[in-house]
Amino acid sequence: MHNDVLAGFDVSPHLEVQQSFKTIADHEMQGLPFVHPQMDVYATPFTLFENQWIGCVLTPWMLSLQIYPGPQQSWPVRRVSERLGLQLPYGEMTFTVGELPALGQYLSCSLMSPLTPDLSPQQGVQLADNCLKMALSLPVTDASVSRRALLFGKRDAQHA
């Protein structure tokens, strides 16, 4: 890896991501007031989207959508905490550059921080899986129905 370029992952980095955040949970986050004490670290299997790995990461302190460079990709090194707007099928989302020693740099979009206190570990895992599916879902639109018609349950007069 060059100093100014980040090499991509050939396979889903979810196990490395999960282990890196588990280490943080075990060594740096214990006992902090915003940490959900029953929640474990979980990373969804990452999927390729536009040749980049995208997945959801659940920790005792947050749920986020994360992106890592994919196979044969090289990312420029960016300033940590730099913000980038990215277009996903769900819509435009703002990501922040993060960095961990074992992973290099990645992009992260916070979906929930801190976690809802009554969220069970099982619900957290399901939420992470569902959030990834939603982020990669194509928006459903019917060109023959106007926004007003959707709100009031009517078809446009021109399409009646």
- Domain coordinates of the chain in residue numbers? 5-23+39-136
| Distance of alpha carbon 95 from alpha carbon 22, whole angstroms | 22
Query: Over its length of 160 residues, how does the chain's per-residue pLDDT go in tens digits?
Result: 445 788 899 999 999 999 999 999 999 998 888 899 899 999 999 999 999 999 999 999 999 999 999 999 999 999 999 999 999 988 889 999 999 999 999 999 999 999 998 999 999 999 999 999 999 987 754 444 444 444 444 444 444 4
126: enclosing H helix or E strand: helix 121-135
Strand partners, 95: 84
Residues 136, 157: Cα–Cα separation, whole Å: 33
The pTM assigned to this predicted structure is: 0.82
Fold of 5-23+39-136: Yope Regulator; Chain: A, (3.30.1460)
Contact criterion met (CB below 8 Å) for 21 and 68:
no
